[in-house]
Chains A and B, each alone.
Chain A
Amino acid sequence: MQYIDGGSVGYNIAVLIKVIPDLEQIKAASGTGQIQIEKVPLRLDILSEHAIEAAVQLKEKYGGKVTGFIFGNNESIPLMKKAYAMGVDEGLVITGYKENNPTLTASVISEKLKSLQFDIIVLGNQSADTYTGLLPGMIASKINARLIGNVLSIEIEGKEVKARKSLEKKIEVVKAQMPVVISVTQETNQPRLPPVMQIMAAGRKTIQSEEYKGQTPSYTLTKSRVAPKSERKKQIFEKPEDGIQAVVRVIKEEAR
Chain B
Amino acid sequence: MQLFSALLIAGLAISAASFIYTLYSIFWNAVKIPEKPYRIKASIGRRAYITIRNVLLQGKLFKERSGGIMHALMFWGFIAFGAYSATFFARGIDPSFQLIPPGEIKNVIFLTVDVFALVVLIDVFYAFLRRWVIKIPRYQGYNGFEAAFILFLIATLMITYYALGILRIDGVSRNIPGAIMESIPSSYTPVTVFFAGLFPKATGPLSVDLYWTLYTIHALDFLIFLVYIPRSKHLHLVAAPLNVILSKDRQPAQLSTIDFDHETRFGATDIRDFSWKDYLDFYSCTECGRCTFNCPAYLTGKTLSPRDIIWDLREVVLAEGPELRSKGMDHKDQILKPVIGDTISETDLWSCTTCMACVEQCPVMIDHVDKIVNMRRSLVLNQGKAPKGTLETYNNMEMYGSPWVADPSTRGDWAKDLGVNILSESGNDDFEILYWVGCVSSYDRRNQEIAKSVVKILQKAGIKFAILGSEEKCTGDPAKRTGNEYLAENLARVNIDTLNKHKVHRVITGCPHCFNSLKNDYSEMGFKAEVIHHTEFINQLISSGKISIAATQNDKEEKFTYHDSCYLGRYNKIYEPPREIIGHVSDNYEEMSMNKSKGLCCGAGGGRLWMDETVGTKISHKRIGMASDINASTVVTACPYCMIMLDDARRVTGLEDKMKLSDISEFVASRLTD
Contact = CB atoms under 8 A, between A and B. Distances in A.
Contacts of A192: 384
Nearest to A25: B407
B409 A25 contact: yes
A200 interface: yes
Given A193-B384, A195-B381, A25 B260 contact: no
B338 to A, nearest CB: 15
Nearest to B651: A240
Interface string A34-73: 0000000101000000000000000000000000000000
B269 to A, nearest CB: 12
Interface string B385-402: 110100100100001100
A197 B264 contact: yes
A46 B405 CA distance: 14
A104 B454 CA distance: 55
A101 B453 CA distance: 51
A2 B558 CA distance: 78
A112 interface: no
A22 B399 contact: yes
Given A24-B400, A199-B486, A194 B409 contact: no
B266 interface: yes
Contacts of B260: 196, 200
B382 A190 contact: no
Interface string B344-356: 0000000000000
Given A25-B409, A27-B407, A41 B399 contact: yes
A193 B380 contact: yes
Nearest to A46: B395
Contacts, number: 38
B405 A24 contact: yes
Contacts of A41: 399
B408 interface: yes
Contacts of B407: 24-25, 27
**For this complex, into which size category does the number of interface residues on chain A fall?**
10 to 19
Contacts of B383: 195
A41 B409 CA distance: 12
Nearest to B385: A193
Nearest to A26: B407
Contacts of B408: 25
Contacts of A24: 399-400, 405-407
A190 B394 CA distance: 14
Contact of B266 (A25, A27, A194, A196): A196
A197 B382 contact: yes
B510 to A, nearest CB: 25
Contacts of B406: 24
A42 to B, nearest CB: 10
Interface in A82-138: none
B264 A195 contact: no
Nearest to B396: A24
Contacts of B381: 195-196
20 contacts: A24-B406, A25-B400, A25-B407, A190-B388, A190-B391, A192-B384, A194-B384, A195-B381, A195-B382, A195-B383, A195-B384, A196-B260, A196-B266, A196-B381, A196-B382, A196-B486, A197-B266, A197-B382, A199-B486, A200-B260
Interface of A: 22, 24-25, 27, 41, 43, 190, 192-197, 199-200
Given A24-B399, A193-B384, 17 more contacts: A24-B400, A24-B406, A24-B407, A27-B407, A27-B409, A41-B399, A190-B388, A192-B384, A193-B391, A193-B394, A195-B384, A196-B260, A196-B266, A196-B486, A197-B266, A197-B382, A199-B486
